[in-house]
A and B are shown apart, each in its own frame.
Chain A
Amino acid sequence: MRIGGEGLIDRGARLDFTFDGHGYQGVKGDTLASALLANGIRLMGRSFKYHRPRGPLTADSAEPNALVTLGRGPGQDPNARATTVELHDGLEARSQNRWPGLDFDLLSVNDALAPFLGAGFYYKTFMWPRAFWEKVYEPAIRRAAGLGAISRVHDPDRYEKAFAHCDLLVIGAGPAGLMAALTAARAGAEVILADEDTHPGGRLNAETLEVDGRPGRDWAAAVAAELSEMDNVRLMTRTAVVGAYDQGTFGALERLAPDIAARRGAPRECFWRIAARRAVLAAGALERPVAFQNNDRPGVMLAGAVRAYVNRWRVAPGRNVAVFGNNDGAHRTAADLMAAGVHVSALIDSRPGATTDLDLPFFPGATVTDAHGRKGLEAISVATTSGIDKLQAECLAVSGGWNPAVHLTCHMNGRPAWREDIAAFVPRDGAVPGLRAAGACAGTFSTRACLEDGIAAAREALEEMGRTAPGTSAPRAEDGAYAITPLWTVPGKARAWLDFQNDVTVKDVKQAARENFRSVEHMKRYTTQGMATDQGKNSNTGALAVLADATGRAIPETGTTTFRPPYNPVAIGALGAGAQGMGFAPRRLTTSHAASVDRGAEMLEVGLWYRPSHFPARGETHWRQSTDREVTMVREAVGIADVSTLGKIDVQGPDAARFLDFVYANTFSTLKVGRVRYGIMLREDGHVMDDGTTARLGETHFLTTTTTAAAGEVMRHFEFVHQCLCPDWDVRFISVTEQWAQFAVAGPKSRDLLDDLLDTPLDDAAWPFMACGPVGLGGVQARLFRISFSGEHAYELAVPARYGDSLFRELARRAEALGGGPYGMEALNVLRIEKGFITHAEIHGRTTAFDIGMDRMVSRKKDCIGQAAAERPGLREDGREQLVGLKPVGAVKMLTAGAHLFNETDPADRDHDQGYITSTGFSPTFGHFLALGFLKNGRARHGEVVRMVDHLRGVTAYCEVQDPVVFDPKGDRVRD
Chain B
Amino acid sequence: MRFSGLRVLKEGLTGNKGWSPHWRDADPKPEYDVVVIGGGGHGLATAYYLAREHGITDVAVLEKGYLGGGNIGRNTTIVRANYFLPGNSEFYSHSLKLWEGLEEELNYNVMHSQRGLINLFHNDGQRDAIVRRGNAMVNQGDDAILLDRAALRRKVPYLDFDNARFPVQGGLFHPRGGTARHDAVAWGFARGASDRGVDLVQNCEVTGIDVDRGRVTGVQTTRGAIRARKVAVVVAGRSSQVATMAGMRLPIESHVLQAFVTEGLKPCIDHVVTFGMGHFYISQSDKGGLVFGGDLDFYPSYASRGNLPTAEHVMEAGMTLMPMIGKARLLRSWGGIMDMTPDGSPIIDRSGIEGLYLNCGWCYGGFKAVPGSGHCMAHLVATDRPHDAAARFRLDRFRTGRGLMDEEGTGSQHSLH
Find out whether A and B make contact in their complex, taking CB atoms under 8 A apart as touching: yes
Residues of A whose CB lies within 8 Å of any CB of B are 48, 75-79, 115-116, 118, 121-128, 130, 133-134, 138, 141-143, 145-155, 157, 159, 161, 243, 245-246, 249, 251, 271, 273, 411-413, 507, 511, 514-517, 519, 521-522, 525-526, 528, 531, 533, 535, 562, 564-566, 569-573, 575-585, 587, 604-606, 683-687, 689, 840-841, 844-846, 869, 872-875, 877, 896-900, 908-910, 913, 916-919, 949-953
- Taken together as a complex, chains A and B put the C-alpha atoms of A531 and B181 apart, in Å, by 15
A581's contact among B112, B129, B163, B325, by CB below 8 Å, is which? Answer: B163
Residue of A nearest to B397 (CB): A874
Taking chain A's interface residues, is the majority helix, strand, or loop, or is none over half, making it mixed? loop
Task: Contact check, B342 vs A521: say whether CB atoms are below 8 A apart.
Answer: no
Q: In the complex, how many angstroms separate the beta carbon of A149 from the nearest chain B beta carbon?
A: 4
B213 contacts partner chain A, Cβ-Cβ < 8 Å: no
How many Å from the CB of B267 to the closest CB on chain A? Answer: 5
Q: Per-residue 0/1 for B1-26: is the Cβ within 8 Å of any A Cβ (1 yes, 0 no)?
A: 00111011100110110011111110
B145 within 8 A of A: yes
Judging by beta carbons under 8 Å apart, are A898 and B16 in contact? no
CB A494 to nearest CB in B, in angstroms, measures 12
- Residues in chain A near residue B397, CB distance under 8 A: 874
Q: List 7 A-B contacts (CB under 8 A).
A: A122-B111, A143-B266, A516-B24, A522-B68, A573-B326, A579-B317, A951-B134
In chain B, positions 113-158 with a C-beta closer than 8 Å to chain A are: 113-115, 122-125, 127-136, 138-141, 144-146, 158
Contacting A575 at CB < 8 Å: which of B21, B112, B330? B330
- What are the nearest 5 A-B pairs in CB distance? A845-B409, A898-B131, A155-B326, A146-B288, A573-B326
Q: How far is the CB of A12 from chain B (nearest CB, A)?
A: 33
- Chain A residues with Cβ under 8 A from B305's Cβ? 411-413, 564
* Size class of the contact patch on chain B: 35 or more
- Give residues in B with beta carbon < 8 Å to A: 3-5, 7-9, 12-13, 15-16, 19-25, 65-69, 73, 86, 89-90, 103-104, 107-115, 122-125, 127-136, 138-141, 144-146, 158, 160, 163-167, 172, 181, 183-184, 187-188, 202, 262-268, 278, 284, 286-288, 303-305, 307-308, 311-312, 314-320, 323-334, 342, 397, 399-404, 406, 408-413
Q: How far is the CB of B411 from chain A (nearest CB, A)?
A: 5
Per the bound structure, the CA–CA distance linking A564 and B25 in Å amounts to 29
B141 contact from A134, A580, A909, Cβ within 8 A: A909
Partner of B329, one of A133, A565, A572: A572
Which chain A residue shows the least CB distance to B203?
A519
Which residues of chain B have C-beta atoms less than 8 A from A952's C-beta? 131, 134-135, 138, 144-146, 172
- The answer on a CB contact under 8 Å between B158 and A152 is yes
A residues in contact with B308, CB < 8 Å: 243, 245, 249, 251, 273
Nearest CB of chain B from residue A116's CB, rounded to whole Å:
4
Contact of B263 among A147, A562, A587, A872 (CB under 8 A): A147
Chain B residue with the shortest CB-CB distance to A913: B139
In angstroms, Cα B146 to Cα A877, docked, is: 34
A130 touches B104 (CB 8 A): yes
Contact across chains for A154 and B324 when beta carbons are under 8 A apart = yes
Q: Which residues of B contact A846 (CB under 8 A)?
A: 404, 406, 409
Q: How far is the CB of B240 from chain A (nearest CB, A)?
A: 19
Closest to B323 in A: A154
Tell me the nearest residue of chain B to A686, going by C-beta. Answer: B401
Complex CA gap A149/B305 in Å reads 29
Q: How far is the CA of A744 from the CA of B25 in the complex (A)?
A: 73
Residues in B whose Cβ lies below 8 Å from that of A122: 109, 111
Q: A122-B111, A124-B8, A147-B264 are in contact. Are A413 and B303 (CB under 8 A)?
A: yes
Distance between B175 CB and nearest chain A CB, rounded to angstroms: 10
| Additional A-B contact list (4), CB under 8 Å, known A143-B267, A149-B268, A689-B411 | A245-B307, A514-B19, A515-B22, A952-B135
Q: A150-B325, A898-B128, A898-B131 are in contact. Are A142 and B288 (CB under 8 A)?
A: yes
A569 touching B134, Cβ below 8 Å: no
Contact B3 A133 (CB under 8 A): no
**Which of A118, A533, A535, A605 lies in contact with B264, CB distance below 8 A?**
A533
Bound form: Cα–Cα A585–B284 in Å: 26
Most buried by A among B15, B134, B166, B264: B264
Let me know if B307 and A898 touch, CB within 8 A.
no
For the complex, give the distance between the alpha carbons of A77 and B324 in Å.
11
